[in-house]
Structure 1
Amino acid sequence: MVKEAVEEARKAAEETAEEETAQETAEEAAEETVEETAQETSEEASEEAADSEKAEEGSEEKKKFFGKKKKDKKDEKIEELTDKLTRQMAEFDNFRKRTEKEKSQMYEVGAKDIIEKILPVVDNFERGLAAVTEEEKENAFVQGMEKVYKQLMTTLEGIEVKPIEAVGKEFDPNFHNAVMHVEDENLGENIVAEEFQKGYLYRDSVVRHSMVKVAN
C-alpha cells in the first residue's frame, strides 16, 4: 500500500511539474506575443503619424501654390478705382493731343485764309510802287507808301509768310502755275522765264501759286 501511495505521489508530482512547465511556457509565449503586438502597434502608429505629417505638409504646399488668399474688398475697390483712373488719364491725354492737333490745323487754315485776303493788297502796293517814276520817288506820299509796304512785308515775314522763288528756277507744279509758254534759246528746258503774279508760302504750305511763263 505504501509503495502504491508513493508511486501515486510521484506521478502526481510529475504531472504537477509538467503542468507548471506548460503554464510557464504558455506565459512566456503570451508575453512574447504581447511584446510583438505592442511593437507592431507602435510601428504602425509611427508610420501613421509620419503619413499624417506628410499629408499636412502637402496640404500647406498646395495652399502656397494653388490656394491664393482671397483679396480684401477694400483692396479690390482700390485696384478697380486705380485702373479706372489710369484709363481716364490715358483718354484725357489722347483727347488733349487730338485737340491740340485740331486747334493747330484750325489756326493754320484760318491764318492761310487771312493771308490769302491780304495778298491782293500786297499786289496793289507793288503795282503802284512799280509805276512811280524816279522824280516821284522823292514825294512824301510815295515815301510813306513805301514805308507802309515794307512794314507790311516785315509783318508777314514775322509770321512765316515768304514769297515763292520763280524766275530762273525750274518749273515745279507744286509751287508754280504756268499760264504761258515761250521758246527761248537762252533758257533751259522748263525754266521759269517770267512771273506775272507772286506766289507765297505760309510755313511749308502754299497759300498761292506763282503765275508764270515757262520757257521751251
Structure 2
Amino acid sequence: MKQEQDANLQEQEATAFEQEQTETAAEVGGEESNDLQAVLEQAKAEAEENYQRMLRVQADYDNFRRRTLKEKEDLAKYASSKLVTDLVPILDNFERALSTNPSSDNDSFSKGIDMIFRQFQQVLEQEGVTAIKAVGEPFNPEFHQAIMQVETDEYEEGIVVEELQKGYMLKDRVVRPAMVKVSS
C-alpha cells in the first residue's frame, strides 16, 4: 500500500510537473509569438519601404531617360546653330553688296554675286534658317531688338517701322533678333 501511495504520489507529481511545463511553454510560446509578430511587422514595414524606394528609383530613371532623349533630339535639331550664327553676318554683307548700284560694265559680276547670294540663302533655308518678319509687325522683344523709337502717323504705337538689321531664326529658335525702329 505504501508503494501504491508512493506510485500515486509520483504520478500526481509527474502530472503536476507536466502541467507546470505546459503552462511555462505556453507562456514562453506567447512571448515568442509576440516577438515573432513584432519581427514580422518590422519585416513588412521594411519591405514596403524598399518597394516605395524602388518605385521612386524607377520613376527617376524614366524621367532621366526622357530628358536625355529630348536633349539628344535638341542637339541633333540645333547642331548647326553655331555655324548658322557665324554665317548670318556673311549673308548681311552679301545683301549690302547687292544693294549698292554697281556700274553697268560690271553687270556679269553683279549677276554672279546675286547667284551666289541666292544659293547661300537656299542652303540656309534647307538647314531651317528663316528671316524674321519685322516691318509692320507688333514689336516683340523675343524677335526684335529696339534701337530707336520714332513718332509716325503711318503706324500705331508699338509697331515696327523700319528694320535696320535682319533677324534670323533656326527652326524655332532666334539666332539673332532683328534690329528695328519702333513707332511711339
Normalised TM-score (structure 1): 0.53
Task: Specify the alignment match of 2:107 in structure 1.
Answer: 139
Give 1:97 shift: 4.8
Task: Specify the alignment match of 1:203 in structure 2.
Answer: 171
Find the partner of 1:185 among 141, 153, 164.
153
Which whole-Å CA distance do the structure 1 matches of 2:113 and 2:88 have between them?
16
In the TM superposition, what whole-angstrom CA distance separates every residue of 1:155-213 from its partner, at most 9, and x where no partner exists? 11112110000011111111100000100112111111111100011111111100000
Q: Quote the sequence identity (%).
A: 42
Q: Does 1:159 align with 2:116?
A: no
Q: Which amino acid aligns with 2:87?
A: I
Find the partner of 1:113 among 53, 61, 82.
82
Paired residues for 1:74-89 under 5 Å: none
Q: Provide the aligned C-alpha RMSD in A.
A: 2.6
Residues 215/108 of structure 1: CA separation in 2 closer, same or farther (3 Å cut): same
Which whole-Å CA distance do the structure 1 matches of 2:143 and 2:67 have between them?
30
Q: Which runs of 5+ in 1 are unaligned?
A: 1-87
Q: Which runs of 5+ in 2 are unaligned?
A: 1-57
Residues 185/147 of structure 1: CA separation in 2 closer, same or farther (3 Å cut): same
Which whole-Å CA distance do the structure 1 matches of 2:76 and 2:83 have between them?
11
Which whole-Å CA distance do the structure 2 matches of 1:199 and 1:186 have between them?
23
- Which deviates more, 196-205 or 99-108? 99-108
In the TM superposition, what whole-angstrom CA distance separates every residue of 1:42-90 from its partner, at most 9, and x where no partner exists? xxxxxxxxxxxxxxxxxxxxxxxxxxxxxxxxxxxxxxxxxxxxxx9xx
**Structure whose CA Rg is larger:** 1
Normalised TM-score (structure 2): 0.61
Say which SS state the counterpart of residue 122 (structure 2) adopts.
Answer: helix
